[in-house]
Chains A and B, each alone.
Chain A
Amino acid sequence: AQSVTQLGSHVSVSEGALVLLRCNYSSSVPPYLFWYVQYPNQGLQLLLKYTTGATLVKGINGFEAEFKKSETSFHLTKPSAHMSDAAEYFCAVRPLIKAAGNKLTFGGGTRVLVKP
């Protein structure tokens, strides 16, 4: 079974500072990897994903993430935080092999607070 761990349920950063959100997964084979963002009372929006190829993935809003197979990690970063980055972020994985349902496994989420 797959599992996803996001270190830190809450992260506080200053505007203009680096944003680093950690995600580690447990899987027998490298899965597809995703980061989603959720603004209050809204659905989840895809930030970026890793399927195959280049391990450094760039997403929307200046975010990027790097897949490190040896560390089973997919940490999310943004060089300079903006007030609009305040939201909850979810890391998710799904199997490479498309079983019935193709289910995602989500981490517990990290809520980001941006201080002016």
Chain B
Amino acid sequence: SQTIHQWPATLVQPVGSPLSLECTVEGTSNPNLYWYRQAAGRGLQLLFYSVGIGQISSEVPQNLSASRPQDRQFILSSKKLLLSDSGFYLCGMDRPSSEQFFGPGTRLTVL
């Protein structure tokens, strides 16, 4: 069965520090992968998606970047965090049955 792992589960970082969030998937190959952010009191914002290794599409200009170094690994990064980067980050994956499947999320607090 398909599984999405996200690491870490929670993270507290100072403003200006770097960030690396990891998403790995199991049970499938060549999936479409997505990064979303939920800021407090707001809905889901699509940040990046990837249809394959090295292929990244950015949805909104921001302080973040994404990479896909391996087929089942999707990484969200920042060189210098801002307060506004705080939120709940979700990794998603397309299923052949048409819906998206989501990982457990990472709670990021920037102080």
Contact = CB atoms under 8 A, between A and B. Distances in A.
Interface of A: 32, 34, 36, 41-46, 49, 51, 90, 92, 94, 100-104, 106-109
Contacts of B94: 102
Contacts of B90: 43-44
Classify the secondary structure of B's interface with A: strand
A43 B105 CA distance: 6
A101 B32 contact: yes
A36 to B, nearest CB: 8
A106 B101 CA distance: 14
5 contacts: A42-B105, A43-B103, A43-B104, A49-B99, A107-B43
B7 interface: no
